[in-house]
Amino acid sequence: MDAAALRRAIPDVVGILVRRGADFASAEDAAQTALLRALERPPREEIRDVRAWLVTVAWRAFVDQVRSDTARAAREERVSYEPEPGPVPQHDDTLALYFLCTHPVLTSAAAIPLTLRAVAGLTTRQIADAYLVSEATMAQRISRAKQRLAGIPLDESGDLSRVMRVLYLMFNEGYSGEMDIAAEAIRVTRQLVALTDEPEVSGLLALMLLHHARRPARMIGGQLVPLADQDRSLWDVGTIAEGVDILQSALAQDRLGQYQAQAAIAALHADAQTAAETDWVQIVEWYDELLSFGESPVIRLGRAVAVGEADGPLAGLAALDAVDEGVPRYHAALAYLHERAGESDAAAAEYAEAARRATSVLEQQHLLRQAERLRGGVD
């Protein structure tokens, strides 16, 4: 059974069941049941029409559940129980599911697993494995998210910017297991590109691809490797080329957005054969474009580092004065700029402070190594 084809069909299945009278939570549960049954079929038992087969099995699962429900009488008034309720319609509810799964009533922590199940078509076990929690824990998390959506219609208009934000947070989750969450974020963002004509969605996809292309070089021997020190021969040039092409097509529509600007910065990093060849002047200009969309301390921080590279560390330190020290990675940026300015003692102290505030063990270990390197006078 082609698992990828099954997963691609899940949003359609959920939408069809909702249009036939099922509530979203029940429809999504039934679609998950159908998916699991399909995955359990012997490989030799090929399904000719995956979408139709899943709809049929999911509808029967939904009907069985309704019939056993204590509220059956109330539901029977609005749900038909024909096991074969006619041909499968061609209406595509995938975009509506993106909106529903990222509805403002949900936190990002709830929206991401629900999107992975209802839109990406992952099983609860796969999502739990990626998050390194038990299947029961993840099932409860998804169930609570669906309860929050009770009564919200599938065809309610949604906020595309929120969908993009949830997908980008999904990409940045960083969990690993049987399913690569970053790769899943890229896959469902590709679907979203096909459903819209918004260049910002293409910009988001380009940004993901350009970051993902550098992934093989980010960690060597269990240690984080900063961008400037990465072995660029490990970068995926095919993925970089695709990301640049997508970005250029988006920029050509002359409807610039934040994700396109971020992707442009990533493209400039990817275009440099060595760290020394990076076009920092253009990167600073793109950071200025980003700030034109709204004030952001995180963007200010990135801009200060870029200014330090383009105009010298003292200029970078001056730019960093405008950033609150509570911003994540502030002290790491301050340490780097002090080191660039030849102020080793100050840099070592800031690297140690940055390590104290780090939110991951790997990042903490990297920053502590930087502090020890400067204190020990080791290159």
pLDDT tens, the chain, 379 aa long = 578 889 999 999 999 999 898 999 999 999 999 999 998 888 777 788 899 999 999 999 999 888 876 555 555 555 554 555 555 555 668 899 999 999 999 999 999 999 999 999 999 999 998 888 899 999 999 999 999 999 999 888 889 999 999 999 999 886 655 678 999 999 999 999 999 999 999 999 999 999 999 999 999 998 999 999 999 999 999 999 999 999 999 999 999 999 999 999 999 999 999 999 999 999 999 999 999 999 999 999 999 999 999 999 999 999 999 999 999 999 999 999 999 999 999 999 999 999 999 988 999 999 999 999 999 855 4
Closest CA to 200 of 260, 157, 253, 276: 260
Chain centroid, CA 122 distance in Å: 15
Do 214 and 235 form a contact (C-beta atoms < 8 A)?
A: yes
325 φ/ψ angles, rounded to the nearest 5 degrees = -70, -10
Burial class of residue 282 in the structure, from the number of CB atoms within 10 Å of its CB (0-12 exposed, 13-18 middle, 19+ buried):
middle
User: With contact defined as beta carbons under 8 Å apart, do 331 and 350 qualify?
Assistant: yes
Instruction: Calculate the CA 5 to chain-centre distance.
Output: 21
Q: Whole-structure pTM over 0.85, yes or no?
A: yes
- The C-alpha angle with vertex 217 and arms to 216 and 219, in degrees rounded to 5, equals 90
In sequence order, the 6+-apart residues with CB closer than 8 A to the CB of 276 are none
pLDDT number for residue 88: 52
Tally the C-alpha atoms within 13 A of residue 276's C-alpha that lie toward its C-beta: 0
CA angle 64, 41, 191 (to 5 degrees): 85
| pLDDT recorded at residue 89 | 52
Return d(Cα 115, Cα 93) in angstroms, integer.
14
Separation CA 357–CA 367 (nearest Å) = 10
Residue 268 and residue 243 in contact, taking contact as beta carbons nearer than 8 Å: no
Residue 234, SS3? helix
Query: Quick one: pLDDT at residue 85?
Result: 52
The per-residue pLDDT for 138 is 96
